[in-house]
Structure 1
C-alpha cells in the first residue's frame, strides 16, 4: 500500500495536493474518515487506507520523512556498469546465499529511464528520475515498468536468502526470436525447477480458470509465463516443475493459491511474504529434482541461458 508507483500516494488517498498546509490536511483526513467509515456506508478497505495514509503524513516529523524518503530509487539494485547483481548483505549475516546470475529488474529499469527522459522532454535535466511526485505524474505505461522492476528486485532479495542449495537466474531471454519475451526469474532447487513471474499491478488481483483477472491486469500473464517457460525448456532440453506468480501481499486474498495445471504445467499464485516457503516445500503436482539430475539441469541452463 502506497509503495507501488501504480498506487495512490498518501496525499491522493486523503484527496489533497502534496503541498497543502497542516490544517487543511487534517480537515481532509477527518472528511475522508467520515466518507469511508463502514458504519456510515463507506468501504472498509478505503477506510483502512485513509488511516494508513494519516499515519504516514499526519505529523510534522512523519510527513517530512515521507516527503523526503518515499522515493522509488532507494532500493535500486541495478547498475549498467555492474557485471552481475549481488544481493544486499548485512554485516553480521554470514549464511551462504543462493547462487544468482543476471540483473533482476535491470531490463525494465533501463526502459523506464529511457522513457522517463523522453516523456520529460529533450534538454530537461532530471535530477532524480525516481522522485515520487515525478513518477506519479508519468504515464501509466512508464510507471508500470518501474513497478515491475521493483517487484523483480523484491523477489530477488527473497530468493537470494534461500541458501546454497538454490541457483537463480534473473531477467532471462526466453525466446531468441522475440526480445520482449523473458522470464523474470528461474529458480532451481531440490524441490523443482520453477519459472517465476514478479508482478505489481497496483491493485487487488483475483484468479479465474487458471488466469489472473482484475481491473489492472493486462493480457494473460499466467499463459504468457507458461509459454515462455516452455520455449526456454525446449531450448535447454529441461522440464520446468511449476510456474510461480509473485504478487504484493496486499494484492492477493490467499497467500498461496494453486491454480492446477495450465497447458500441462502446475501454477501457483503466491503472496511475496510466502514465496520462500513455497519454493522450499514445492508445489502440488510438481516433479522434484534431485541427485545427478540437479547438476545436469543446472549445467544445461548455464549453457543455454541468455540475459535480456
Structure 2
C-alpha cells in the first residue's frame, strides 16, 4: 500500500494536491474519514487507507520523509565473479550471517527498460535529475510505471531469498529463450526442497486465481502459463527438471498467503504472498520433488553452464 509505483499516493487517497497547506490537508483527512467510515456506509478498506495516508503525511516530519520518495531508485549492487555477476543485498556491517549465493541482477532488465521509456516519455531535451522522483513516476503512463513496479518486486524477492542461507543458490533475470529477449525467468532458486522457477509481480491491484491462472482487472495475458513454458524451455536446455513454479505477489494483493494451484502442464504451481515466500522455499511445494545429495550439485553445475542473463 502506497509503496508501489502503481498504487495511489497518500495525497491521492486524501484527495489533495501535493502542495496543499497543512490546514487543507487536515480538512481533507477529516472529510475522507467521514466519507469512508463503515458506520456511515463507507468502505472499510478505504477507511484503513485514509488512516494510513494520514500517518504518512499528517505531520511535517512524516510528510517531508514521504515527499523524499519511497526508494523507487534504490537498487542493489553486484560485483563480477568469474563470468557471471554476483548479486549482494545491502546489509548492515554487523550482519555476518551466511547467505544464499546469488547470480545476476534482480530487476535490472526492467529498470533499464523503465529508464529508456521514462526519458522517451518526458521528451527530448528534458532534464531528468531524478527519473525515480515519486511525482514523476506516478504521472507516467501505466506501462512505464508497471516496469518499475515489477523491478521493485524482483528486488524485494531477491532480498528474501538471499536470507535463505548458504544451502541455496539463486539466479536472477535469466534469459529463457535465446530467440526472444523478452522471455525471461525472474528468478531460479535451487535448494534442498527443490528447483523453482519464480515470477515476481506487482499488478497494483488485487489478484485472484481461476483454473490454474491469475485473474484480475490489471492482469494481462497468462502469467502462470508463460512462467511454466519458460521454465520447461530452460529445463530442456539445461537438462534439469524444475520441481515447481512460484508466483510471488505483494501481501495486500492476495487473499491467501499460500495458494497451491495444482499442476499446470505437469508442473506444480503455487501463488504466495511475499511474506510467505521463505516458508514455501524452505518447506517445499506439494507434489514437488526434493533435490538432495549429489543431485543438487549436478543440477547446480548444469545450470551454471547453461544460464544466460537477460
TM (norm. structure 1) is: 0.97
How much does 1:71 deviate?
4.2
SS of the residue 2:181 aligns to: coil
Which runs of no fewer than 5 residues in structure 2 stay unpaired?
none
1:178 match: 180
Conserved? CA contact 2:79–2:86, under 8 Å: no
**Structure 2 residue 35 is matched with structure 1 residue 5:** no
Separation in structure 2 between the aligned mates of residue 81 and residue 260 of structure 1, nearest angstrom = 38
SS of the residue 1:186 aligns to: strand
1:144 match: 146
1:119 match: 121
Give structure 1 regions of 4+ aligned residues with deviation exceeding 4 angstroms.
78-83
SS of the residue 2:291 aligns to: coil
How much does 1:103 deviate?
0.5
Conserved? CA contact 1:229–1:240, under 8 Å: yes
Conserved? CA contact 1:102–1:169, under 8 Å: yes
- Cα root mean square deviation, aligned: 1.4
2:65 match: 65
Separation in structure 2 between the aligned mates of residue 297 and residue 183 of structure 1, nearest angstrom = 17
Which runs of no fewer than 5 residues in structure 1 stay unpaired?
none
How much does 1:84 deviate?
3.7
Conserved? CA contact 2:36–2:43, under 8 Å: yes
TM (norm. structure 2) is: 0.96
1:52 match: 52
How much does 1:109 deviate?
0.3
2:279 match: 277
Equivalences for residues 61-100 of structure 1 within 5 A = 61-73=61-73, 75-77=74-76, 83-100=85-102
How many residues end up aligned between the 2 structures?
307
How much does 1:78 deviate?
5.3
Separation in structure 1 between the aligned mates of residue 72 and residue 180 of structure 2, nearest angstrom = 29
Separation in structure 2 between the aligned mates of residue 203 and residue 2 of structure 1, nearest angstrom = 12
How much does 1:89 deviate?
2.1
SS of the residue 2:171 aligns to: strand
Equivalences for residues 258-297 of structure 1 within 5 A = 258-297=260-299
Conserved? CA contact 1:78–1:105, under 8 Å: no
